[in-house]
Structure 1
Amino acid sequence: MAALLAGAALMLSGCGLADSHAVWPEILKVKSTESAPLEAPPDVKRLVASKLDSVFTAGSQPTHVRVSAPLHDPGGTGWTACVQAELTSVIGKPLGTRTYRVFINGGAIFDRRQVEADDNCLTENYEPVDSAVAVQAQQNTKP
């Protein structure tokens, strides 16, 4: 019985020996996971200026649009940034400043969410999206 237990213990202890750092031939080692390469930081000002409709609804008439620096998205290979603007309701009533977190992947905004009270967007530094940047971005997107 002792020999059986010793044999089982020996077999089970060998499971951890084939990891990527073991001195076994490469074919016997467990492959280490390689992370996907990180894409270059996006030009958030240009993206937001050219696609305001992907962040704000057309009826909200965004003014004084400001963006934060892009940060690597911890949940993937893309980027996140914060966008603030003064918005107006559909009936013309000022809504005040609203802040959104935008998610960028492959050089395009693919999602946005209004920030909650505990989001770090509230402590970010913002730079205005110049009207010149917006005009240039719109000209670059026309066929």
Structure 2
Amino acid sequence: MRRIVVHIALVAGAALALGGCGFADVRAPVPEFMRAKAPDPPAMGTPPDVKLLLRQKLDSVFVAASQPTEVRVSEPRPNLRGPGWTACVKAEVVSVTGQPLGTQTYRIEISDGAIADRQKVEGEDTCATESYELV
């Protein structure tokens, strides 16, 4: 009788131990065959019409008092920091006193078909290597 109880206990213990085995996280330090499959990246859909967005809401990128001219835009790219798209926008602008400031470049973030954010481009940004088209 004691032997049967020991066997049942061993089988139950082994079942519990093996029941805890499953697929590990994608980044777990286990062999590849034991890891879960990495999730597929979300589908991006079609790129937005950035030219149309800028024609409709240019004031969301450049202040109206700066009188932006020769507005140029790059092709939209998928945003690496989150959902949506990014593009670079250049324009010739003037100061409040009317003095030319030269070309100003901004990186815009497009989310849900609208311009969600803009940031002035620094020197090491990739906007310097983009090709631009007039809006």
Q: 1 or 2, which has the higher helix percentage?
A: 1
| 2-structure distance, mates of 1:84, 1:44 | 13
1:18/1:30 contact within 8 Å kept: yes
Question: Which structure has the greater CA radius of gyration?
Answer: 2
**Pick aligned residue for 2:130 from 116, 121, 124:** 124
Query: What amino acid is aligned across from residue 79 of structure 2 in structure 1?
Result: D
| 1-structure distance, mates of 2:130, 2:38 | 36
| TM-score for the superposition, normalised by structure 2 | 0.73
1:19/1:31 contact within 8 Å kept: no
1:39/1:78 contact within 8 Å kept: no
| Shift of residue 33, structure 1, vs aligned partner | 4.0
**Cα gap change, 1:112/1:32 in structure 2, threshold over 3 Å: closer, same or farther?**
same
Which 5+ residue runs of structure 2 have no aligned equivalent?
Answer: 1-12, 26-31
Instruction: Please tell me whether residue 59 in structure 1 is matched to residue 65 in structure 2.
Output: yes
Root mean square deviation, CA, Å? 2.8
| TM-score for the superposition, normalised by structure 1 | 0.69
| 2-structure distance, mates of 1:83, 1:35 | 27
Cα-to-partner distance string for 1:9-37 (whole Å, 9 max, x where unaligned): xx6xx65x3248979xxxxx978645433
Instruction: Please tell me whether residue 76 in structure 1 is matched to residue 82 in structure 2.
Output: yes
1:39/1:77 contact within 8 Å kept: no
**Pick aligned residue for 1:98 from 104, 112, 125:** 104
1:67/1:82 contact within 8 Å kept: yes
Which 5+ residue runs of structure 1 have no aligned equivalent?
Answer: 1-6, 24-28, 130-143
* Bigger relative contact order, structure 1 or 2 (CA pairs below 8 A, ≥6 apart): 1
For 1:18, the equivalent position in structure 2 comes to: 23
